[in-house]
Every structure is written in structure tokens, then in C-alpha cells.
Amino acid sequence: MTHCRNEEHYAMLIQWFKQGKVVNSSGRALENVEITLKNKHAMMKRIWSSEKIPLSEKEELLSALNELDKGDWFDETKYNCKAAHPDNKEEMWNAYFTKDSMCEEWGLYIFIQSFAGWQ
């Protein structure tokens, strides 16, 4: 889930995220395979790195994840996603390495997740 790199795989992750189950290439759900909340966070982080999925769709999916998880874990994923979005790369790079940037207010885990998303 976390290593997909092409748009076909991103589309598959979105399908799995929405359906809550893993579906093979013939359209059959895999038995005894459960998509956990942790898996959904991992999927979301990958989906946001797509260059072709519209930002509005990414935001809609992130909002759906927020309905399932309103805690710190979601906050970390949200920062990861913002940094992973291709259009935000330069902005985030400047934020990481500019004195008095917004990053000064973040905790260590938020910074780690954001930087991981940026990579």
C-alpha cells in the first residue's frame, strides 16, 4: 500500500479505502483481509503524492478519514498529506528551512510526518 507509484495503483488505493476491503484485479474481495484504520492512514499518505488526482478529491478522502479518526494520529497524517501534495513541495521546503516559519510551532511528531510526506 505504501509503495505504489503509478496512477493505476493510486486508483486502486482509493477503491480499497472507500470499500474498506482489498479487491484483486478480477474484482473479487480478498477473504480474511481487513483494512484497518492504520492501513487507511497509510493509503491516505500515498494517495496525496499523486500528481493526477485532483486536490478536491484528495481533500474529500482526507475528510472521510477524519470522520473515522479525530485524534493526534489524524493530525500527523494531515501534515504528511499536505507536504506530499506535489504542488506544495517548494512551500514546504521553504517552511522547513526558514527561520521563524510555521514549523516552529509543531511538535516533533508533526514535523517528522510532514517531512516524511515531503520526501
| Per-residue pLDDT in tens (0 to 9) along the chain, 119 residues | 677 878 988 999 999 999 999 988 788 888 888 899 999 999 999 999 999 999 999 999 999 999 999 988 999 999 999 999 999 999 998 888 887 777 778 888 888 899 999 98
Spatial separation of the C-alpha atoms in residues 69 and 5, rounded to whole Å: 26
Q: Please state the domain extents for the chain.
A: 7-118
Q: Is the pTM of this model over 0.75?
A: yes
CA distance 54 to 71: 26
Burial annotation 26-61 (CB, 10 A radius, 16+ → b, else e): eeeeeeeeebeeebbbbbbbbbbbbeebeeeebeeb
CA–CA dist 51, 113 (Å, integer): 20
Count of Cβ atoms closer than 10 Å to residue 118 Cβ: 20
